[in-house]
């Protein structure tokens, strides 16, 4: 879906599809350099990271294994319940593996902090985080992120995997959602 298809729902486009692809190639190069001569497992966080994970994997000029996790820290509404649940766990044993967790955005950091702690308890050889977007102003937890595409303001963004009520995930760009859509 193109931004023009939903332009009335967006305040602005923050990053175009071309900018996103360029940034993912940059991140892939960093990862390749850091893990030269090592096998890596990239772990995507469902559902939002699907686009980032797929395009990052394609940008890597090497073999890479992929696995997925789904976690939730929400109850029935939009407020966090404070309890993180694993909805889909890894199929791969990560003991002594080099793991890069891939997410589309880091907001408060609460869920990701819990997830990293959980994965670290499984004794990987290394464990790093790659995210396309990070909102420093929204952070409630210090999460060490090695690979960051862009830092953005604390605004409601959609597109390229990011959603509002399961809509806009397939938008090729990333844009700020207009308040009239969610208020």
Q: What residues are labeled active site?
A: 107
The whole-angstrom separation of Cα 91 and Cα 30 is: 26
The whole-angstrom separation of Cα 134 and Cα 112 is: 12
Instruction: Name the 3-class secondary structure at 70.
Output: strand
Instruction: Name the 3-class secondary structure at 36.
Output: coil
Longest Cα separation, the chain: 50
Strand 147-151 to 80-88 pairing: unpaired
Contact call for residues 99 and 146 (beta carbons, < 8 A) = no
Contact call for residues 163 and 9 (beta carbons, < 8 A) = no
Instruction: Indicate if the alpha-carbon torsion angle 12, 17, 18, 24 is positive or negative.
Output: positive
Q: Supply the angle between the helices 17-34 and 50-59 in degrees, to the nearest 10.
A: 60
């Amino acid at each position: 879906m193109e931004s023009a298809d939903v332009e009335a729902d967006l305040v602005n486009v923050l990053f175009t599809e071309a900018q996103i692809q360029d940034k993912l190639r940059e991140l892939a190069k960093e990862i390749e350099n850091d893990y030269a001569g090592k096998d890596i497992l990239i772990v995507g966080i469902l559902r939002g990271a699907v686009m980032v994970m797929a395009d990052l994997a394609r940008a890597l000029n090497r073999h890479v294994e992929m696995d997925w996790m789904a976690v939730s820290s929400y109850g029935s509404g939009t407020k966090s319940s404070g309890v993180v649940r694993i909805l889909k766990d890894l199929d791969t044993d990560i003991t002594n593996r080099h793991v890069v967790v891939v997410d589309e955005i880091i907001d408060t950091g609460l869920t990701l902090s819990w997830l990293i702690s959980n994965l670290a308890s499984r004794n990987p050889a290394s464990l790093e985080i790659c995210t396309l977007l990070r909102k420093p102003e929204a952070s409630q937890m210090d999460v060490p992120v090695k690979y960051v595409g862009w830092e953005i303001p604390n605004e409601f963004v959609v597109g390229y995997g990011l959603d509002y009520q399961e809509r806009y995930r397939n938008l090729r760009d990333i844009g700020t959602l207009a308040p009239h859509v969610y208020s």
